[in-house]
A and B are shown apart, each in its own frame.
Chain A
Amino acid sequence: MPINTGLADTSNALLFSTVILYALAMLCYACDFAFAKERVVAEAPALVAVGAGGPPVQVPISVPADAASRATPSRWPTGVWLRAAFGLTCIGLFCHVLAILARGLAEHRVPWGNMYEFLAAITCMAVLVLVAASVKYRAYYMGLFVLVPVVFALGLDLTVIYTPAGSLVPALQSYWIAIHVTAMIIASGLFIFGAVVTTLYLVADRSQRRIAAGQPSWSAGIVDHLPKPAILDRLSYRSILFGFPVWTFGVMAGAIWADHAWGRYWGWDPKETWSFITWVVYAMFLHARATAGWRGRRAAWIHLIGFGCLMFNLIGVNLWITGLHSYAGMP
């Protein structure tokens, strides 16, 4: 079937709007950080009850606005800037999803057949995770930090990496692309979110330790707006709890597909090798978490190494190493 160029153009326009909306949302999140003071003022009523009976919590508490600015913490964002930021993020996400849908309809196939489409999809997933985590775990403070890399990646995607709509090479024409690549996209989105949280955890943890030791901390200004490191740590762990099984499934589905297409389920093709390495490093992270002495900072570093492997597989392997995976699909 021929490519529907009208729809393909609509998709491009929608993705362009998405970037603008995300960029605006990013600015609003930043303003929220800069101007919304109330969160620091209130000493988290919710947390007082928790420490009940114990001595007052010693570490300086900073809780996201929603928790701090109201007696009953709310699921939904509070404050003008945060509301605007979250609203823009949601509208942006809506456009993002529509852009991907339009692209798929234009091409009559799942729209993840090349690097451009893949990047558009994983950023969409990352924002989806952001929105879900914001509502479920009140993690509105993540907005700025997730949107910065997303806007950057989408900017590159629309310019340098852009690939016009087209059909798939025979090797990719299989229903397994819908299963395997979709799983990889979901897992990657979760891992991206997890890596951002982990980075924040390391920053907050370092700042907290420096302050405790009476040393100056350059990041104190940012960290004041974040929850305690332990909460960040848990959020990052959660993203792996979701992401790791999905990744495992994705790698397995890829193996089954490789068996259909090339006659072996595992052949140590560079892409396979790196998804294996990524998997092993995340398994290391899970083991590190289970080992008392490796929790916290050390586990966080392993987490980031795992993410580095994921990114290398996405970018490095596509650009510098040739293999059977015709995925690279760069113009």
Chain B
Amino acid sequence: MTTAEDDALTTLPPYSDADLSDREAPAPAGPRLGVLGWLRWTWRQLTSMRTALILLFLLALASVPGSVLPQEGTDPAAVSQYYTAHPGLAPLLNDLSLFNVFSAPWFAATYLLLFASLAGCVLPRTVRLVGQARQLPPRAPRNLARLPFSASYVTQQQPEQAMAAASKLLSRRHYRLQTGDGWVSAEKGYLREVGNLIFHIALLALLFSVGIGGIWGYKANRLLIVGQGFANTPTDLDVFHPGRLVGPSDLQPFSINLQSFQAKYVTSGPQLDQPISYAAPLTYRTAPGAPLRHYTLQVNHPLVVDSVSVYLIGHGYAPEFKITDGTGHVQFDGPVPFIPVDQLSLTSEGVIKVPDAKPAQLGFAGIFLPTAVDVNGELQSAFPAALFPRVSLVSYAGNLGMDGPVAQSVYQLDTKGLHQLPVAPRPLAPGQSIKLPDGDGTLTFTGYTQWVSLAITYDPGQLPALISGILALLGLILSFLVRRRRVFVRVQPRADGGTAVVVGGLARSDAAGGFEAEFTDLAQQFLDLHDGTALPEAADPRPGGDDEAADVSSGDEFVPRKSAVTAQARAAGPDPASAGREESEA
């Protein structure tokens, strides 16, 4: 390489886009950095970025089992099913946290490492950008024709005049300028890095926001039967997942009463059975003693009380029973929530336990059919609304096993200590009863009501997460829209009294192209401004025969060149915008 070339290239190293990932301040890439220095510098770029790449890949990979295997967090029932289906494999998977992927230690390790790498990458870059923003663009290289884009022409204007006009045009276009003896150097597009940094920092902020939710937020579920109510206290909630620093007294003290529940379904056509709308009118108080308010809870329309949101996430039937035991005492009288086993027809299953019944404890396992129809001797539900409700029960007597050490699910009957009673299987209509044999008592299906399941969430990280997300998106768009580029102009008096003008330009991270068009346009403006005459191509001798013609840089695919200006595109050493490099490095 000649000295002139070195000089031209000194401006380039900090201009390669790999430099963005440099964790250390960039080595002052002077002419005498040497091959080793270059190698080390390049290696550091590659490793840091490569680390990010590998970690991103691991994160993607680590998420896969979470979507393929059932997860405790989203579908615990499916996990138990998996245990039954694969008794050998399931404990093994459980040991690897594969039923809890997104809270698994190895998953956390992956994203924490990634975010550590992100912080380690972004913070120094921010510092560096602040430094760069205060610096002037570098001196113009001596031989502008060696830049990826250049144009040259002659003008009758004097060099100073031509310089002044060029500077004015560039600053009008919001370039930052440095001028010297016979040259102007201009730079623009710092916003690209600003956008990129905002994006990455916003990702960090997003992670923190999620963390805030996990520490100070909580999630809960409550099944609520029409006519009943509950208060937002840990004991009154069915499922309660508090954040790490949430105590029972931190819960907002509202209470809710369910007035009724209405569901509408498609009654004909191919979409028969499909729900059209759900509505759950309810009353609530923000605190004990506060005024009573009304709200109609619907899907997609949560109730927000005191920054806590209450959602309608499910519904079902609760058949009502009255059970009299062998001694003639009414031991049970009320609704029992049944769980839908088929979402379309709302065929539901449930159990009734009567531990106080005498002489023996009683248990019933039943199916509720909202619209019962007889299909070849088998009873099925034909429609989700309760048009022809029937309940079919199997009755048991004996020991319910409820005084064991482990609390029983109210939705399951442990039949170990029970024996089935010989009752003729007969679906009950509302009002009908079964008389249990041996004077064990009577059960009456008195009617039915409905229930809804509510999700209650409090997430103080939600707003920060939203803001981070919006910032990330804006930063991303900014970095994609702006391209950082430099333009240089050199003027030189000619023997014939005119002035020779050379315009050179280069863009960093111009992978999507487009700089060439901008440069051509700019060069054309210089030409017009200077009243110049384009030089014949021969007047700009290009050194070296090792040039690779960079057809990519020819830019906007097959745009005709403006005849007045010869924009030259060639691969110039470490120029990132050219494809020559890409090919030589592949």
Which residues of B sit under 8 angstroms from A238, Cβ to Cβ? Answer: 512-513
Which residues of B sit under 8 angstroms from A173, Cβ to Cβ? Answer: 277, 299-300
Tell me the minimal C-beta distance from A55 to chain B in angstroms: 6
Within 8 A of B (CB), among A247-271: 248-249, 252, 255-256, 259-270
Taking a contact as CB atoms under 8 Å apart, the answer to whether A260 and B585 are in contact is no
Decide if A87 is an interface residue (CB 8 Å cutoff). Answer: no
CB nearest neighbor in B for A279:
B60
Which residues of A sit under 8 angstroms from B585, Cβ to Cβ? Answer: 292-293, 295-296
Taking a contact as CB atoms under 8 Å apart, the answer to whether A237 and B511 are in contact is yes
Tell me the minimal C-beta distance from B538 to chain A in angstroms: 9
- Contacts A52-B537, A317-B67 hold; do A230 and B46 have CB atoms under 8 A apart? no
A20-28, A124-132, A187-195, A281-289: which lies at the interface: A281-289
Given contacts A67-B557, A292-B18, 4 further A-B contacts (CB under 8 A): A46-B560, A59-B551, A169-B275, A268-B101
Tell me whether chain B's interface is mostly helix, strand or loop, or mixed. mixed
In the complex, A63 Cα to B417 Cα: how many Å?
83
Tell me the minimal C-beta distance from A157 to chain B in angstroms: 17
Decide if B559 is an interface residue (CB 8 Å cutoff). Answer: yes
Taking a contact as CB atoms under 8 Å apart, the answer to whether A291 and B302 are in contact is no
- Contacts A54-B547, A244-B476 hold; do A167 and B276 have CB atoms under 8 A apart? yes
In the complex, A51 Cα to B566 Cα: how many Å?
10
Residue among A47, A171, A230, A252 with the most chain B CB within 10 A?
A230
Decide if B257 is an interface residue (CB 8 Å cutoff). Answer: no
- Contacts A52-B568, A295-B582 hold; do A274 and B67 have CB atoms under 8 A apart? yes
Taking a contact as CB atoms under 8 Å apart, the answer to whether B560 and A73 are in contact is yes
Taking a contact as CB atoms under 8 Å apart, the answer to whether B551 and A231 are in contact is yes
Interface size on A, residues (CB 8 A): 87
- Contacts A170-B299, A273-B66, A321-B67 hold; do A256 and B73 have CB atoms under 8 A apart? no
Taking a contact as CB atoms under 8 Å apart, the answer to whether A291 and B476 are in contact is no
Tell me whether chain A's interface is mostly helix, strand or loop, or mixed. helix
Q: Among A58, A266, A280, A297, which residue has its beta carbon within 8 angstroms of that of B60? A: A280
6 residue pairs A–B, Cβ–Cβ below 8 Å? A54-B547, A139-B557, A237-B512, A291-B21, A292-B18, A296-B582
B157-165, B265-273, B404-412: which lies at the interface: B265-273
Which residues of B sit under 8 angstroms from A219, Cβ to Cβ? Answer: none
Within 8 A of B (CB), among A177-201: none
Residue among A50, A252, A268, A293 with the most chain B CB within 10 A?
A50
Q: Mark B179-205, 1 if CB is under 8 A from A, else 0.
A: 000000000000000000000000000
Decide if B433 is an interface residue (CB 8 Å cutoff). Answer: no
Which residues of B sit under 8 angstroms from A291, Cβ to Cβ? Answer: 18, 21, 45-46, 49-50, 53
Which residues of A sit under 8 angstroms from B470, Cβ to Cβ? Answer: 252
Decide if B52 is an interface residue (CB 8 Å cutoff). Answer: yes
Q: Mark B545-585, 1 if CB is under 8 A from A, else 0.
A: 10111011110111111000011111000001001011101
Taking a contact as CB atoms under 8 Å apart, the answer to whether B473 and A248 are in contact is yes
- Contacts A50-B561, A248-B476, A249-B473 hold; do A268 and B582 have CB atoms under 8 A apart? no
In the complex, A130 Cα to B201 Cα: how many Å?
35
Tell me the minimal C-beta distance from A174 to chain B in angstroms: 4
Tell me the minimal C-beta distance from B21 to chain A in angstroms: 7
Q: Among A44, A67, A293, which residue has its beta carbon within 8 angstroms of that of B46? A: A293
Q: Among A234, A248, A256, A259, which residue has its beta carbon within 8 angstroms of that of B513? A: A234
Which residues of A sit under 8 angstroms from B586, Cβ to Cβ? Answer: 295-297
Taking a contact as CB atoms under 8 Å apart, the answer to whether B570 and A53 are in contact is yes
Decide if B480 is an interface residue (CB 8 Å cutoff). Answer: yes
Taking a contact as CB atoms under 8 Å apart, the answer to whether B60 and A284 are in contact is yes
Q: Which 9 A-B pairs have the closest CB atoms?
A: A51-B549, A67-B558, A230-B552, A263-B311, A50-B554, A273-B67, A263-B455, A230-B579, A270-B67
Decide if A143 is an interface residue (CB 8 Å cutoff). Answer: no
Q: Mark B462-483, 1 if CB is under 8 A from A, else 0.
A: 1001100110110011001000
Taking a contact as CB atoms under 8 Å apart, the answer to whether A230 and B558 are in contact is no
Which residues of A sit under 8 angstroms from B135, Cβ to Cβ? Answer: none
Decide if A290 is an interface residue (CB 8 Å cutoff). Answer: yes
Which residues of B sit under 8 angstroms from A72, Cβ to Cβ? Answer: 560
Which residues of B sit under 8 angstroms from A176, Cβ to Cβ? Answer: 300
Taking a contact as CB atoms under 8 Å apart, the answer to whether A228 and B56 are in contact is no
Taking a contact as CB atoms under 8 Å apart, the answer to whether A170 and B298 are in contact is yes
In the complex, A290 Cα to B50 Cα: how many Å?
10
Decide if A245 is an interface residue (CB 8 Å cutoff). Answer: yes
Tell me the minimal C-beta distance from B296 to chain A in angstroms: 13
Decide if A277 is an interface residue (CB 8 Å cutoff). Answer: yes
Decide if A57 is an interface residue (CB 8 Å cutoff). Answer: yes
Q: Mark B436-464, 1 if CB is under 8 A from A, else 0.
A: 00000000000000000001110100100
In the complex, A296 Cα to B578 Cα: how many Å?
12
Residue among B20, B540, B561 with the most chain A CB within 10 A?
B561
- Contacts A50-B561, A267-B73 hold; do A292 and B472 have CB atoms under 8 A apart? no
Tell me the minimal C-beta distance from B90 to chain A in angstroms: 18
In the complex, A233 Cα to B585 Cα: how many Å?
15
Tell me the minimal C-beta distance from B146 to chain A in angstroms: 11
Which residues of A sit under 8 angstroms from B172, Cβ to Cβ? Answer: none
Taking a contact as CB atoms under 8 Å apart, the answer to whether B554 and A47 are in contact is yes
Tell me the minimal C-beta distance from A132 to chain B in angstroms: 13
Which residues of B sit under 8 angstroms from A288, Cβ to Cβ? Answer: 53
Taking a contact as CB atoms under 8 Å apart, the answer to whether B67 and A290 are in contact is no
Taking a contact as CB atoms under 8 Å apart, the answer to whether B59 and A280 are in contact is yes
- Contacts A290-B509, A296-B583 hold; do A137 and B557 have CB atoms under 8 A apart? yes
- Contacts A55-B549, A173-B300, A231-B557 hold; do A167 and B274 have CB atoms under 8 A apart? yes
Taking a contact as CB atoms under 8 Å apart, the answer to whether B71 and A49 are in contact is no
CB nearest neighbor in B for A163:
B270
In the complex, A57 Cα to B553 Cα: how many Å?
13
Taking a contact as CB atoms under 8 Å apart, the answer to whether A54 and B46 are in contact is no
Which residues of A sit under 8 angstroms from B457, Cβ to Cβ? Answer: 263-264
CB nearest neighbor in B for A205:
B586
Decide if B36 is an interface residue (CB 8 Å cutoff). Answer: no
Decide if B68 is an interface residue (CB 8 Å cutoff). Answer: yes
CB nearest neighbor in A for B457:
A263
Which residues of A sit under 8 angstroms from B240, Cβ to Cβ? Answer: none
Q: Mark A140-177, 1 if CB is under 8 A from B, else 0.
A: 00000000000000000000000010110111011010
Decide if B216 is an interface residue (CB 8 Å cutoff). Answer: no
Taking a contact as CB atoms under 8 Å apart, the answer to whether A46 and B554 are in contact is yes
In the complex, A171 Cα to B315 Cα: how many Å?
13
In the complex, A213 Cα to B570 Cα: how many Å?
24
